[in-house]
Structure 1
Amino acid sequence: MSTRQADQGNGSSAPRPDRELREALLVLAGLPDDSPALPGQLNTIVRLSAEVVDPVDFASMTVLAVEGHRTHASTDEVAEAVDLAQYAEDAGPCLLALHSGETVGVPDIGGAVVWPGFREVAWRYGVRASLSVPLFAGSGVPIAGLNLYARDAARMRLLIQRVQSCYHVGPTRVLPRMDAGSEQFLAGLAGALLSRDLVQRALGLLMERDTIGVGLAYRRLVEATDAGMPLTDTATVILRRHAT
C-alpha cells in the first residue's frame, strides 16, 4: 500500500506527508542560512518530494561544496548518478538552477543536446524529464537545488509549468490542478517566496534606517531572532513597527 493510500485509509490524525512537504518548504525559508537544522530540513524535502509528488520518481538535493558541487541527499542511486553526470561536466539543469536562482525544467531529456552527459546518463536510467528548483533559506540566496526526476515526461510537463508559474512575476495563465502532493509542493514554494519577500522588505528597511549594507542588516535580523524562531517572525515585527 502506498503512503497516500495508507494516509487516506487509516483515519490517523498525524500530519499528512503532502502537508509535511508544504511545511518543510516554509520552515526552510525562515531558517538562518547557517542554522544547524538546515541539513535535516533539506533531507526531509528530498524524501517527501519523491514520496508524495505524483509525477516524481527520484529526487536529490545539490549543494555547493569545497570541491565544487555535491549531492547532499538523494532518494536512490538513479538520482545520484544523474547528478554526478552533471558535476562531471560542470553543466546541467541542477547547476543552472542553483547558480541562477531560476527553475530549470527539462520536459524532454532526449532533446537536451546542450548537456550530453546529463542526457546520456538520465536516458540510460529511464529518466525522461526533470525539474530543478532553487531553494533558499532566510537570506534569500539559493543554498541548494532540488532535483526532481521522472520516468513519465507527460505527467512531469504540467508540474514544470506550474512550478515555473510560481516564480514568474506578472500575469500568468490558469493551469489545471494536480494531485494533492503536487498541490502542497506548489503551496510550499509559493509560501516560501512570500516569506523571502517579507524578509527582503525588512532587510531593506534596516539598510535604509541604519545606513548599512545587506550583509550587516541580515546579521542584525538573525541576532534579533530568538533561537528556534523563524526569521519571518522578526521581519514581521520590524515591518509592523515601521508602519506605526
Structure 2
Amino acid sequence: MAATPNGSFRIATDLIIVAQLAEKLITAVDWVSVTSRLGNRYVTAAVGSDLAAAVDQAQYDDGAGPCLEALEADYPAFVPDIAATVTWPRFRDTAASLGLKTSLSVPLFAGSGVTFASLNLYSRRAGTLSTLTNAVWAAYDPDPFDCWNHDALDPGGRELTAGLISAVALRAMIRRAAAILSAGRMDTHRGYLILCEQAAAAGTSLTDTAALVIEQNQPHLDA
C-alpha cells in the first residue's frame, strides 16, 4: 500500500487482504481488524471476527482506544496487559470481557505517507505480542541501539515486520520526491499530487516515478 496512491480503488481490497493474512499467519494473534476513517467518523474496514468488531466499536463509542491512538498519532499503540490499563476504560472492559489479554495497533499508510488506517492485532494469551511490538517499533523508528529478536518471531511476524520496514523506506523516498516537486515549499502535498499525475501520465508506479525524480535532481541536490 505504501506505493499505491491514496485514491486508488485497490486500497479497500488491500486492507482486507492485510487483515486476512495477519490473522492467518501470525500465530500470536487471535483476532484482527482494520480501523479507518470515513468522513468524520471511524469504521472497521476489515475484520476477521464479529468479536473484534465489538472491541473496535467500544473504542469508536468512547472516542478513545489503541486503534484510534495508532491512527491519529501515527505510531504503534501496544497494550501489554489489557485488564490493567487505565487509559481506555471502555476498551479495557469490553476487550477483557471477551477474554483478550493484549493488543497491538499498527499505523497503515498509502502513497501520500499519511496514516489513514490502523491494523489491530488482538490476543487471548498474555505476553504473546511483546516481541512483535519491539520489531514493529524498530520498523517505524529505526535505532541502532534498539535490538529485537528476529528469530523469536514466527514467520507471519517476520513477514509483517519486513513489509513495514519496506513501507517506511518507500514513504521516505516518495516524500523526498514530493519535496523536490514542491519546489522547496513547506507543504509537500502539492508535490505529492504532481508525482501522482506524472506516474499516471507515464503509466509507471509511484515508486518508479519517485526514484526517477530523485535521480534527475541528484546533481542539484549534491551541489
Give the TM-score normalised by structure 1: 0.84
SS of equivalent residue, structure 1 residue 73: strand
Write the deviation string for residues 192-234 of structure 1: whole angstroms up to 9, x where unpaired.
000000001111111236x584222111100111387431111
Q: Show the counterpart of 2:218.
A: 243
Q: Show the counterpart of 1:113.
A: 86
Which range moves more in the overlay, 152-161 or 219-228?
219-228
State whether residues 94 and 104 of structure 1, in contact with CA within 8 Å, keep that contact through their aligned partners in structure 2: yes
Query: In the alignment, which of 174, 194, 199 is matched to residue 199 of structure 1?
Result: 174
Alignment of 1:118-197 (within 5 A): 118-176=91-149, 177=151, 178-197=153-172
Query: In the alignment, which of 225, 229, 237 is matched to residue 199 of structure 2?
Result: 225
Does residue 47 (structure 1) correspond to residue 47 (structure 2)? The answer is no
SS of equivalent residue, structure 2 residue 199: coil
Q: Percent identity?
A: 37
Cα distance in 1 between the residues matched to 2:178 and 2:16: 28
Q: Show the counterpart of 2:65.
A: 92
State whether residues 175 and 192 of structure 2, in contact with CA within 8 Å, keep that contact through their aligned partners in structure 1: no
State whether residues 35 and 45 of structure 2, in contact with CA within 8 Å, keep that contact through their aligned partners in structure 1: yes
Measured after TM superposition, the shift of residue 143 of structure 1 is: 1.1
Report the AA paired with residue 243 of structure 1.
Q
Q: Show the counterpart of 2:188.
A: 214
Q: How many residues align?
A: 216
Cα distance in 2 between the residues matched to 1:172 and 1:150: 28
Counterparts in 2 of 1:52 and 1:131: CA distance versus 1, 3 Å = same
Cα distance in 2 between the residues matched to 1:212 and 1:241: 21
Counterparts in 2 of 1:202 and 1:76: CA distance versus 1, 3 Å = same
Q: Which has the higher contact order (CA 8 A, sep 6+)?
A: 1
SS of equivalent residue, structure 1 residue 30: coil
Report the AA paired with residue 158 of structure 2.
E
Aligned-residue CA RMSD in angstroms?
1.6
Measured after TM superposition, the shift of residue 172 of structure 1 is: 3.2
Give the TM-score normalised by structure 2: 0.92
Measured after TM superposition, the shift of residue 110 of structure 1 is: 1.1
Report the AA paired with residue 67 of structure 2.
C
Report the AA paired with residue 119 of structure 2.
L
Contiguous gaps of at least 5 residues in structure 2: none
